[in-house]
Structures are given as structure tokens and as C-alpha cells.
Structure 1
């Protein structure tokens, strides 16, 4: 049967006829791909003279059209031909070739397979960007340059800028110098603005969303064109009378999640790792990845349709505040919200390169209980990814599937957990596990929690000890609250407007007794699966370990971070415990007896000298020895992993040799 080639005469490459004909040609030439995935390119530019990747050939066919003189498709399976001499891809490949192929392959495939009925306007715009990228990746940096394409050079230069924190002005000066020092006709951009505009075509950009100055609402979706906040009616702009471009009070940067997840699958370098969780489970019962935990397994049982497709994505979320101005005196709290993908193996999913910045919440103040206002775009996208999913190309199998995603939990320190979960980490019922059954008492200037012995075995000797709060502990552990219990508590909450406006959400209202420690119903409960999750909010162990070790080290060395204060001694006396540590009055002076748990001056120096002599294996930790002060009486400037080494390796008393 003769092959239909009438589509070749159609000049409109976005027409359904051209797409359908090109699809038939592509299906036919799949059998002619060599072991490297290369095929002769039949575009008007290459004219079957070079072998390039199968994916790149499709880009060429869209960008440059089909070779009109190629009427007998002998190289692509229309008839048998004599063996031909293999010609390598004459175009030198660089690091950006794979990137462009991954980006354009997924977009072009989707355009071909799912947008048959479109007018072609949007497709034409996409192809225009791709043609510009192809031109950039194939053009020389300057006439005669063989080492870099202009796009490859620009990507490497921008990476150096970000890595070394160059300012935009210094980068502009560097580009100006490079442009003037290279031969005429070079492709070096004149400014940082032009460089960003060029790389933006690769994708993975962000969306700027204006925010009310009081954190009441986003100027997004139905409020996109509003000039005043729909909650507090404050103006959107810093200066409403300016004639030029207006400046918003706050701008939220939102990095859409879906294109980043699809990029993981459309890249053949990462697609194969995205199903590791399905094949890499521990067989000896050791937990080395969340897939080995009970929470993951319970989720699979509750949602079998989701777990049946191993390419569906499992996510974890982390958020915390930091001061972008470093050690400057100005107080500022900017909050990044970061996602990681647990489909990947443990040695990849926890690498910095695997983290996906999803939101950048502006300061200068912490969002606090209004965190949900900023999370709205992300949660809406997560709801869509769970309910409908998105059509995605899997480069590992060269096939399409409907990708869905679920957020398994968050990982934060305790204050950030309060902002995300809605359960306040302060007050008499601060413990989110014990909930309304939290054991706490009031001491000097603070609340302390004294019910930890409830979790010990019934016959543990500490249960009968009077050294903790002067009473033996006979109670059983607090009950576990079911999703139905939590839902019942949340339904009792009073409605409060978000934001920090003094006339609305910003008014400090005392919680009613029936509201317990709930300050809000978390936005995550809008996710269908969220109430049933076994672990919703996880605490950052390294962060907590640092705080505990910092207090322990301060108490041992009796420095300014010690917890052994005069108020603490007064509290011991009020509780009538540890009589030997009570304050003693001699004349007009008050003394604190030296406790057994703190070093004397000679012991302090011995401990610091021991730390100073410690030798750690390469890569095990930073140089702790340099953190000891010159007079061998204190240790300062430790990092989180240093505290981990101290807690786990150096401070614990070693076992005696037999």
C-alpha cells in the first residue's frame, strides 16, 4: 500500500494534517533507530546527511520542516537499501544538548498527541521559543569557537554567578568586559536581564503574586485585578498616586510544581530513578528510606489506585524562616517552602540538587498563623495533581502516563510546625501528641512539661522516683487521637479572619477552652488524603538535637547558655525536689551550690582540651577542635553536625572494657 505523503504539501506545520502525517512518519522510522538512539534527520536543514538523536530529529522536523527533495523514504523504512556508512552527528554536543532535548521532547510530544484540535497559535509560540533555543545551542559563542555554544557558555556563567553570589551590577560589568574582549560577532549577552530572558525559555520559571500588606489575602485568581484587599480593604500598592509602574507591598514568588515533576520524567537521566521506591525496598527489615516505614505502607493500603502506579510522586515539604541579610542589624524573616521527591533513592532525594523551591514567602515578619494564605497556590496544585493528574512523558520507557502526586508529610522545627499544623506550640497544652491530655505546670516565668515518665514501662524505676516533680508517676501513656477525634476538635473552632490587620485577624483573641490549642484549621486538610495520614508533621531531628546539645553543653560548661539559673533553683525549691541544689543565703549574698552535672574550672579545661585533641575521619564532620576558645574554657561556633557528633560520639560515657 502506498504511503500517504499529501501532508508534506501543507505549509502550516501546526495543522492537524501535518501533525498526523508527521506522527505516521515517526512511527515508521522508529524501526531505523540505531543502538545509540540515533536516526538520519530528514528535516530541510540536515537532509539525511547526519545522524542525530531520535528526539532531536522531531524538533528539527517541527522547526525546519520536512526535506522536500526526500520523496522515497529509503533511510526510514520505505524500502530496503544497501548498507550505508554511519556518519556521526557533525554538530559537537555540549551539556545543553541533553537539557534542550529533554525540555523540548516532553513539550513537543504533548503538543502532538493532545492538542490536535487547537488553532495552533499557542503551539506556534512554543515552537518559536524552541527554534530560538535550537539556534542558540547550535550557534558558536564567537566565530571559530568549538568548545562552547552560546547557550552552554551562558548557562555555565549564570551558574557561577549564583554559586558565588555575585550582584547583578557586577555581573553586568563582567558581561560588558567579556563582550568587548571577545572577537566581533560573539553571542555574549549585554546584561544580566538579557541573560535571564534567554534562559527563561528553558522553562522552570516562577510566578509573582502580590500579597496584602497585612497577609490577609493574595491578589490571585478572582482577586487578580483587585486594587484593595478583599479582607481589610488596604491598598495593594505602596504608593497609589504614582504615575509610573506601581510597586506592591509584598510579592510572593510561586514556583509551579507540575513542570518540575514532569521534567524529572522527561529527562532520561532522572526518569529511571523515579521508580526506585518500587524496587529498592529493604528486604532485611532495616529502614533506610521512607518506603520502609509503616506510614508509607498504610498509605499504599488506603489508596491502592494511587500506589498501583509506581510513577506517581510522593512528596515531603519543609519550611523555615531565615534572615537574607545575614548578620545585619535589620530583623527580617523570609520563608522558603521546599519540596523533595521520595520516589528517588536515598542518596539522591536528600541531595540539595533534588530539592525544589516551591514558594518564597516575603518578610519582614514571619507569616505565623497566616501561613495558609501563602500556601494557597501550592495546595490548589496538589489537589489537582491528586484528583486529575497530568499527562507526562516517561523518557525511560518513551511512553505517556497520567502522573499524580501526594504530599506525605512536612518536616519542620517546632515553631514552624505550629504555623503549618494549626496546633500552637505554646501554652499548657503545647504537645501535639498528647493533645488535650498534655501534662504541664507553671513555674517562674514559664510553663514546663512534666509528664514524660508516662511513656516509660510500668515497672521502670524512674516512675517511682520523686526527683522529677515530687510525685510518683502512675498514669498510663496518653491515648492516641484518631482522625475522627481531630476532625471533631477542628469543627468546634470559631471562624477568624486571616491577616495581621488590627481590626480583623490581627486582634489577639484568647482561645476558648473548647478550642484547646488549635489556632486554625490547616489548609492541608483540604487535601483528600491528609486527615488519614499517620504522620502529618515531622520534627527536624537535627534541629532539635542542636538545641538540646547547645543547652547541655552550656550547662556542663556553665556558660551564658546554661539552663542552671537562679530561677531554676527557685523552681526546685517550690517543687520540693533536689534539696541539695536549692539557693543558699550567706549573709547578704545568695549562693548556688555547685551541681554534680556541671564541670568545675579544672574539669572544664580538661574537657575542652579533650575536644581540642579529637581527630575525626575526613568528611565525618567539620573541624570541632578549632571551635575551642584560646583559654580552653568554652566551645563556640559549632554547626548542626558538630552537635550531632558531640551528642552521639563524644559526650556519652564510654562503656568499660571487660
Structure 2
């Protein structure tokens, strides 16, 4: 039950007694909790909390408390502000706590900078506290800048050839393309670089997860509190990739506080105007040590890099990943001394990347394997089942995944041929490195002298050796790059809707596809028919008639979903025009899994509707929060059967690489665990938040970097704020608040509830009333003594 917060049936005190204790404690310490929490936060952030432990502990941890004199002076000043009253006689707020909460409201409610400045002016004129407050948002932010973790600006070549960093930091022009470092160079007074990479150092951000008492215990959840069951997958810690990593690197697994990360990246337009061509690429890291209710959540995601626009880095993304990879290698080999607030001791923290999370085009950018052409599938590699048809390259031949004795292997209904090939071999890390050894040198950059080289046959689809292979453990990982279920679902559903409804520009049933059927000598009833000077297309079983489409639109228009479950899909449907627009990726997710299996049964014949219903059921079972390994093995067999059924129904052009990738999703789930920890939904929401930081459209990267820093700082501070709404204690979207939470009522009636509506109710029948009375008597603690 969602309202079962105190485990009164598992040894804890009852809800009523527990609530009374909480009220008493809150009343007793009301005046002191706020300042104590702020001071606790400052001590933990500054690394001084270990000073409260014994002298022996401090001797063991003398490396953990080191900080520069400038930083020490800053925190001394903040501690003074935390002890200073906001105004004489004010016991509720100190100057620092009031300012932190004021800034928290600004960030939490997305106030503009100008509105915050106007509020400070009003407070200054209306109340005596105005003299103690900063004059503007800029001054307020500077007061807390030491609580933030900052970022480093690194200049980059205009053509993405190199970074002016490390040994190249003093160069004035690019050695690859001879382009000047500066866009404007007026001597020493004004020099503006072409591009600036914002790098957010990883070490202090990971250290803070352990230095804070609010998160230090959760960073060991995967080892100490996680329930490991042989056949169940609930968390990445249950996955084969995680367990094989522990087996290969036992020294890493022995310390549960060593951190495992997922690396994600994608591009977005910061202006919200699709007519403006601009693409910047944040690189986001997600710690997997955390429990499921915190893992992959916005407050715990870390932006490590902000790759500037206006052009996407594409294949040159390795140039921008260099600072992060160097730090990750250092964190793997040497580690970093970190203070653990939960134990009061220091330990050597090491870090590893488990896999990357990205859509399919970005998969090619990060892995170095081109996701275009005849070998676009990186899992099948050189054994991909692809062939050229009149309009495109299609990926059929899923019969090769069936058992050798299966009757469909001998059938010619699929592509006019028998299937004798075996299942593609799964490549190990050593196999991949052997292929990369045959790769010629890759020239970075987008300058005009960098001509496109012709790929040799032995290079397959490899473009370059990824910088991620510099990590010592990367080749041994079971799962290096994830296939994004979100975009695969979206593309498959879009192809299905476009074909069934015959939408111009989206349907896969065209004149060329009908000619493909004739070329393969299959399904003669669908071949183009010559009628004098024109060709006509016979009606296909997978295309709805005009009347069926009208009824289908009406059905979609009538569908309603619970609040928060999906967007207003009915608002995207126009029955008169026969169009559906403005659908998002999650809308396709809901349509494919929930709506289409119901909507199609009345409009298509049994074979077509059954195959699509099975496809929707496949994705529904794959996206469960808890997976069973034997279920995934069955899904791996089922998806091949489903794809083979679809090959007998839809034209060859329907089977692009995105449809083919569905065959590999169950195996990826066995390696990586539930898809909720490996898909792009959480990353896309994080990018949407970054997009809202843009205040100055002339400097979008700078706006995002500054907005992220202050948001990161105040999100951390909000973990220590209990008397104000934060993202950690706010009510749920559909919270059923109880009006009798602190009243003395029977325990059985103390649970949260919300009536449907006000009104007059009929008299309860005696049978139902007796059942309700029996339930109350048998489930009420207070009634137990009278029933014995």
C-alpha cells in the first residue's frame, strides 16, 4: 500500500503513537532544527564533520580534511552567517538559512533573475531584514558560490580538431587545420575563442555523495540492502554485466562504496525553435549504487561535459570526451581519498563506467561503428541480414534465429528463398579489438582538408577506435553500449501507424515496395496491376479502408487515461482531417503497448491484428520494472516468431534497422537489467531541464552552465531543509492526503484516503454493512482485547 509508511505490522509502533512522538519532538526542537541543519550541511560540505570523531579516527583520516586557506576562510564566514540572527530577536531564521531558502524558492519555482531582484528590493524597503540581504541575485549567488562545485572552461578548435588543454593549453592555433584559436583577437585586451567546452570535474561531485549524511548510506544500498534473487532482475546490480564485472575485477567489488556509472549523451536545440539549427551535447553520468527510488533521478544525475554548438560533434565527440576519460582513468587506477559521513572514516574511492545510454545515431558516434548501410546493426556485426531493395536497405531474414529444424526455414513465403544460415555470432571484447586493429588512422576534425576516405572491406563498418577503449576495463564489459528501447518503440509504432493508416510520407506501402514483392516473387496478389497507361495498387490486408480509418480515429479520440499516465492523445487526433500530430515518444510507448492491441481487433483481419497484439505485449513485458530471466529467454524466442509473422504480412521496406533491433532487446535486458535504468526517458527530461536555464540566447552554453551550478548547489542544500517544500519532501502528484492525520482515531482509519466526490449515498445493504463491520473488527488493533 502506498500509505503503508510505518511498518506497524512488522515490529514498529502504531501510526497514532508514532505520529504523537513526531509532533512532540518537532514542537520541542522547532526553533533549533533549521540552524542546526544548515550548520551540519556546512560541516559536511567543508569536510570538517570528521573532526567530531575520536583522535584516532582523525589521525587515520588526516588526508580527508585538507582544504586551501581560501576555502577555509569562506566556510568560516558562512558558519558565522549561519549563527547570526536575521534581525534582532528572530529565532526562526539566521541570515544564511533565510538566504538559502529564498534562493531555493527562486530555483524550485523557476523565477526569473529580474523577478528575484525585484523581490529583494521589496524586502529591503518593507522589512528591517532588508539591510542584511544582498542587493541582487548576482550578489546572493556569489555568497554561496563556494557551496557549488564549479566548472572549467576549455577552449576548442573551431573545426573540432582538438582542445586547448593540458599540453596544448598555450597554443594559439590548431596544429591539424592551422585555424586560429580566437574568433576575435584585439591584442591582450579582448580575445574571444571560437568554442568553449564546459567541464564539470567529477571527483568533488562523487565525493559529496559520501560526505553528505543524507546520501552516504544509500551509496552502499546495492551491496548491503539489495535483495539478490537468482532469477529476478530489479536493479542493475542483478544484471549479468554487473556480476561479470565483479568477477573480473574482484578488488573493485570488495569495496561496496566504489561507484559504477552510466554515461549518457544526446543533442538538443536550446532555443525551442526548430527553424534555428543549433545543437549542443551535454554528457550526463548516473550513479548506479543508489536504490531504485533515487537511481536515475534528476537530483542525483551529474552533468560532466557541455559540448558547445552550433554543430553536433558527431564522430569527433572523442575530442571533447578527453578531460572526462583522463579523470576516469585516474579514478580507476589511483582512486581518490573520500570521507564517508556514515562511518566517520576515509576510504579510497574508485569509479568505473558500466555502459553508455544513447539513441541509435549517437550509438555510432560513441562506439565508432557506423549505424548506416548494410552492417548497421552493431550486434550482428558483419553477419547482418540485410539486402538492397528498390527504395532502401531492409533487414529481413529473422528466420536464421530459429531452430535449424523449424519449418519456416524451408518456406519461400518470406523472401522467395530458403534460409540455411545460422544465428549471428556474438562478439567478445577481444573480437572487437581484433577488428579495430585492421582500422586505418582516423583524422579528426571537420576542416576542408580532411577528405572523406574510402572504407576498405576489412574495416567493416568501423570508422574509428573509440576513446572509451582507453579505459582499462572497457574491452571486458559484457554490455558496452545500450540499445535505447524508447526510440526503438517510437520508430516501430510510427511505422505501424503510418502503414496501417496509409499516411503520406510515413507509410511503408508504396509503389516501389510493391515492385519489391515482384522482384522477390512473393505475394503475387499485391503486385502492381497495369491498367493501360497507369498502375494500380491492390488493397492490402494491412491497410485500413476509409471507413475503418474514420472509426479508428474516433476510437483514439475517445480514449482517456489516468492523470499523469500519458499526455492528451485525443487532442492530437483530428477525425475530420484524418491526421494525428504532435505525438511524443511516450505517446508512442502508450499506443504500442496499451491502445493498439485493443483498437486493431475490429479493423484488421485476425493474422495481422494478432501479430501486432503480440508485438505490443512483447514490449509491455520487456518494460516491466521487475524481470525474470526465464521470461526474458522466452521473450527472446517470441520476438523472432513475431518478426517472422510480420515478414509474411508487411512489405520488405517496413523492416528497417530499428525494427530489426527489437530482436536483440531481450538479450540486452539479460545483460543490463530492467530497461528503466538504461533508456533515454530520464535523460531527455534532464535535457529539458537544462533547456530552461537559457536566459541569454546569445550565450546559451554559458547560461546553462551557470544555471546548472546554482541548481546543483541548492538541490544539495534542499536535502537539509525540512520546513519548506523541496523536491525531496514534496507531495506526490496524486497524493491522497488524510484530514485526520494527527487526530486520535482508530488505527484502521488512520490511513490516507480521499473520497470520490461529495453527494448523497444510498443506504448500505445489510449484507455489505455486516461485511464492512467484520473487516473492521478483524483488522483493528484496538478491538483485539475484546475479541479474545
TM-score category of the 2 structures, normalised to the smaller one: 0.7 to 0.9
Q: Deviations over 1:378-415 (max 9, x none)?
A: 11111111111111111111111111111000011110
Q: Work out whether 1:547 is the aligned partner of 2:479.
A: no
Pair 1:436–1:113, CA change in 2 (3 A): farther
Alignment of 1:40-51 (within 5 A): none
Contact 1:265 1:393 survives alignment (8 Å): yes
Pair 1:406–1:117, CA change in 2 (3 A): closer
TM-superposed deviation, 1:564: 2.0
Alignment of 1:145-544 (within 5 A): 147-162=92-107, 168=113, 171-183=116-128, 185-241=130-186, 244-278=189-223, 279-283=225-229, 285-504=231-450, 507-544=451-488
Q: 1:369, 1:293 → 2: CA distance?
A: 30
Contact 1:627 1:638 survives alignment (8 Å): yes
TM-superposed deviation, 1:562: 1.9
Q: 2:123, 2:520 → 1: CA distance?
A: 73
Contact 2:123 2:129 survives alignment (8 Å): no
Q: 1:249, 1:174 → 2: CA distance?
A: 37
Contact 1:372 1:523 survives alignment (8 Å): yes
TM-superposed deviation, 1:201: 0.6
Aligned length: 568
Matched with 1:49 is none
Contact 1:557 1:634 survives alignment (8 Å): no
Matched with 2:35 is 93
Q: Deviations over 1:358-392 (max 9, x none)?
A: 11111111111101011111111111111111111
Contact 1:143 1:186 survives alignment (8 Å): no
Q: 2:29, 2:237 → 1: CA distance?
A: 46
Pair 1:166–1:90, CA change in 2 (3 A): closer
Q: Deviations over 1:226-248 (max 9, x none)?
A: 22123222111111236633211
Where does the alignment leave 5 or more consecutive residues of structure 1 unmatched?
A: 1-85
Determine which of 62, 68, 75 is the counterpart of 1:130.
75
Q: 1:365, 1:87 → 2: CA distance?
A: 55
Contact 1:439 1:450 survives alignment (8 Å): yes
Farther off after superposition, 369-378 or 572-581: 572-581
SS at match of 1:316: strand
Q: Deviations over 1:48-87 (max 9, x none)?
A: xxxxxxxxxxxxxxxxxxxxxxxxxxxxxxxxxxxxxx99
Q: 1:447, 1:157 → 2: CA distance?
A: 58
Pair 1:329–1:480, CA change in 2 (3 A): same
TM-superposed deviation, 1:624: 2.5
TM-superposed deviation, 1:159: 4.4
Q: 2:523, 2:108 → 1: CA distance?
A: 54
Pair 1:226–1:621, CA change in 2 (3 A): same
Pair 1:234–1:168, CA change in 2 (3 A): farther
TM-superposed deviation, 1:281: 3.5
The alignment's TM-score, normalised by the length of structure 2, stands at 0.67
Farther off after superposition, 338-347 or 155-164: 155-164
Q: Work out whether 1:613 is the aligned partner of 2:558.
A: yes
TM-superposed deviation, 1:171: 4.7
Contact 2:35 2:82 survives alignment (8 Å): no
TM-superposed deviation, 1:129: 1.2
Q: 2:153, 2:475 → 1: CA distance?
A: 31
TM-superposed deviation, 1:476: 0.7
Q: 1:100, 1:460 → 2: CA distance?
A: 68
Q: Work out whether 1:567 is the aligned partner of 2:512.
A: yes
Alignment of 1:43-62 (within 5 A): none
SS at match of 1:400: strand
Matched with 2:763 is none
SS at match of 1:363: coil
SS at match of 1:239: strand
Q: 2:68, 2:50 → 1: CA distance?
A: 9
Higher relative CO (Cα under 8 Å, sequence separation at least 6) belongs to 2
SS at match of 1:204: coil
Where does the alignment leave 5 or more consecutive residues of structure 2 unmatched?
A: 1-27, 602-609, 614-788
Q: 1:209, 1:376 → 2: CA distance?
A: 11
Matched with 1:636 is 581
Farther off after superposition, 162-171 or 554-563: 162-171
